[in-house]
Structure 1
Amino acid sequence: MQASLILIPVPLGETSIEQVLPDYNREQILSIKYFIVENIRSARRFLKKTDSSINIDDLTFYELNKHTNLEQIETYLQPIINGNSVGVISEAGCPAIADPGADIVAIAQRKNMKVIPLVGPSSILMSLMASGFNGQSFAFHGYLPIDGTERAKKIKQLEQRIYSEHQTQIFIETPYRNLKMVEDLMKNCTPSTKLCIAMNITCEDEYIKTLSIKEWVKRLPDMNKKPCIFLIYK
């Protein structure tokens, strides 16, 4: 097979690999000796869970996160030039989606290298699938502003897009600020606007529920320190 940049999804939580990743992914992983990873320790743990026969000491890891020098990233693709495929592994879910892996993919595309995305769980798409919201027009915004005034302004802008463009709006928050996010949505959205809270997707305690802002007032689940996706629609 042509040397390629292979994007390898990772389970979203302590879910068994067999539940969310096809056997083909394992076959691809076994053929790779070079990996670009967000965190070396967790990447090593994921690879051993994928196949216990993998000799971690035979592998080469390049770390790619918010602290990585951008000038250094391009050198991570040298194995492909030498004829060896390179795998990309993020902390959870699909590489390059709300993830620093997008930088290395962009460089590979500019260099006309083959990029192969493998099948795996995406909390963004899975939450949209289960929300009952518009799946033909949607936008993912990542994190909203932390500043209260700026956040309120952004929430109102997103809500306006729901009604003017009929577009689902999707965003996330740092897990320990989940409750504050919902409180801000309640303050700034109209009571009839629908909110879907999708939490711990694919895990044993998975929770996905859609209600109006008004209905959520007395029905909020425990979201403290749990990974959540938030979606709003009309």
Structure 2
Amino acid sequence: MATLFLIPAPLGEADTPWLPEPERARLTHLRHFVVEAEKTARKHLKALGISTPIRELTMHTLNEHTPAQDIAALLDPLLAGHDVGLISEAGCPAVADPGAQLVALAHEKGLSVMPLIGPSSILLALMASGANGQRFAFHGYLPVDAGERAQTLKKLEQRSRDNDETQLFIETPYRNDAMLEHLLSTLSPTTRVAVACDLTLPGQTIVSRLVRDWPKEKPALHKRPAIFLLHAQR
């Protein structure tokens, strides 16, 4: 049976291998790919040592602009008996990523789905935060409007307090500094706030403190990929 391989991508410019060698070796035969961005995918696949010349690979795009009715056709190589690799812009495909729709369709068709080990910014941030890793939820982007965002943060804080559940979310990178200030001015002094930035990269920054203990000198987050976490004490 043909297999849909879910291939993690590096979280930034990767100078060192980001997949374990046994995982990488399982991919060298692939000729067909579904990618979030073709230019980025070509760079990643070249670094992975795909044996076929890059220009001879078949690539189809799946991103937030792909019409829902076009997704099923991306399974055609699998239905014809060819293994296919799914790779997103960064991190793990199908997690906070449109690739999840393709995976769901593959299961509906009875196809084999094989997730591979690689970097996940969500899990890495959770691991490094000291917050509860038994119960957690990822919410993607919060509202842009300051009033709506404050209300959402208060709701997430209460949910965290009621359920002992860590809440994770992201922000457009140029608004990261404002988000951090908003967190520290909105949440309870005893709520843990963590930020993980440039994970796995040389400039990696991870800070996790109760709101009341956050240092006055805050990390510069502007235009850097970051994940925010909050965990409220009961």
Tell me whether the two structures share a fold, i.e. TM-score over 0.5: yes
The structural deviation recorded for 1:216 is: 2.4
Determine the C-alpha separation between the residues in 2 that align with 1:190 and 1:217. 16
Given that 1:3 and 1:83 are in contact with CA atoms closer than 8 Å, whether structure 2 keeps it comes out as yes
Identity %: 47
Match of 1:121 in 2: 119
Given that 2:9 and 2:87 are in contact with CA atoms closer than 8 Å, whether structure 1 keeps it comes out as yes
The structural deviation recorded for 1:224 is: 0.6
Given that 2:11 and 2:91 are in contact with CA atoms closer than 8 Å, whether structure 1 keeps it comes out as yes
1:90-169 matches, within 5 Å, as 90-169=88-167
Determine the C-alpha separation between the residues in 2 that align with 1:84 and 1:59. 12
**2:234 maps to 1:215:** no
Q: What TM-score comes out, normalization by structure 1 length?
A: 0.95
Given that 1:47 and 1:54 are in contact with CA atoms closer than 8 Å, whether structure 2 keeps it comes out as no
Given that 1:12 and 1:123 are in contact with CA atoms closer than 8 Å, whether structure 2 keeps it comes out as yes
| CA deviation map 1:99-145 (0-9, x unaligned) | 11111111111111111000001010011111111110111111111
Q: What TM-score comes out, normalization by structure 2 length?
A: 0.95
RMSD of aligned alpha carbons: 1.3
Say which of 171, 194, 200 aligns to 1:173.
171
Match of 1:16 in 2: 15
The structural deviation recorded for 1:148 is: 1.6
Whichever residue aligns with residue 147 of structure 2, its letter is T
Determine the C-alpha separation between the residues in 2 that align with 1:166 and 1:47. 40
Structure 1, gaps ≥5 residues long:
none
Q: Which runs of 4+ in 1 moved over 4 A?
A: none
The structural deviation recorded for 1:53 is: 4.8
Judged with a 3 Å threshold, the aligned counterparts in structure 2 of structure 1 residues 217 and 142 are, in CA distance, closer, same or farther, namely: same
Structure 2, gaps ≥5 residues long:
none
Determine the C-alpha separation between the residues in 2 that align with 1:107 and 1:200. 32
Q: Secondary structure at the match of 1:29?
A: coil
Match of 1:87 in 2: 85
Number of aligned positions between the proteins: 232
1:57-68 matches, within 5 Å, as 57-68=55-66
